[in-house]
Amino acid sequence: MQTAERAILFADVTDSTTIYESLGDARALGLIDRLLQGLQADVARSGGTVIKHLGDGIVCAFGDPGAAARTACDMQKAVAARDPEASRKLAIKVAFTFGPVVLAGDDVFGDTVNVCARLASIANSEQVLTNEQTLDALPPELRQRCRMLFPVRLKGRQETVTAYEMLWRADLDLTEANVMRAREVDTELKLAYAGTAVSIARDAGEVRLGRDKANDVVVTSNLASRFHARILPRGGHFVLADTSSNGTYLLADSGGREIVLRREEAVLGERGWIGLGRTASEHGEHALRFRIEPKGD
């Protein structure tokens, strides 16, 4: 084994389970295989190496963080440009990081890999995420395409990691203008559970969820901890933080895999479901429905 600096890239097909269910195994497998072959070609053209496959995704390594950043953008552009039938069915999320890794045979290990995997797990469909350490290693023209999102707490780490989004679309100026306008809109989070509704302003304090009656939202499930999780406004977003024994499940309506938080944090998307101690995907009686809307709607 040896240590070296590498850029690590995770690319994953989002909502693949639904794709298999809606298209059938054979057709879905063919579409996903063709997509992954195209992504591997992007990696090879940029001088990277595909380390391994993970489910319906790939893990890659590059010597140059700039090459990883450009490849991440090229991947999203290629998927967006696929034929109409495929573009309706397939999308990917990508994360890349740069730093020291341990090289062991044909695999890579270490904190740089773990951070990349975590960023990939919280990325939304059609999104590219990275972190501040990687941002500092990029050339200026690529740093200008990144915007700061929110801090993420990773399992086993005391300090948080700040997530950044790389804007990959050709209409970069329009995207940035839309981002600025979105930040100016005052929003609130609306939670619904067991026939009750709670509204949380963006400038409010934290809201506690759990089985204990002292919580702001009391969830009457034996799988919920007494103080299970909290939601707090941060940097214009609403962040869900797990403090439980059984984990907090987060499922966004926008698609993608359900995220399981175990003493970790994740930003809430526009709308979705939260499960305390059990999956939220079944939308059962103990799942919380959330949505973020302009204040007053």
* Span 202-211, pLDDT tens digits: 777 889 999 9
The 10 Å CB-count burial string (b at 16+, else e) for 265-274 is bbbbbeebbb
Separation between Cα atoms, residue 117 and residue 94, nearest integer Å: 10
Mean pLDDT, residues 232-248: 85
Mean pLDDT for the chain?
A: 84
30-81 pLDDT, tens digit per residue, is: 888 888 899 999 999 999 999 999 888 999 999 999 999 999 999 999 888 8
Q: Give the domain CATH number at 254.
A: 2.60.200.20
How many independent structural domains does the chain possess? Answer: 2
The parent domain of residue 263 ranges over: 186-294
> What are the residue ranges of helices labelled H in 56-153?
65-80, 84-89, 111-122, 132-137, 140-143
Question: What φ, ψ does residue 285 adopt, rounded to 5°?
Answer: -65, -20
- Do residues 161 and 16 share a domain? yes
User: Do 227 and 269 reside in the same domain of the chain?
Assistant: yes
Q: Same domain for 162 and 244? A: no
Q: Which range, of 75-84, 127-136, 212-221, averages the lowest pLDDT?
A: 75-84
What is the mean predicted confidence (pLDDT) over 133-143? 93
Instruction: Judge whether residue 181 has pLDDT over 60.
Output: no
CA 48, 52, 56 angle in degrees (round to 5)? 110
Q: Do 13 and 118 belong to one domain?
A: yes
In terms of residues, how long is the chain? Answer: 297
Integer CA distances (angstroms), 155 to 113, 259, 265, in order: 13, 13, 9
Residues with Cβ within 8 Å of 174's Cβ and at least 6 positions away in sequence, in order, are none
Q: Are 35 and 13 in contact (CB under 8 A)?
A: yes
CA–CA gap between residue 101 and residue 108 (Å, rounded):
6
Whole-number percent of the chain with pLDDT over 90:
41
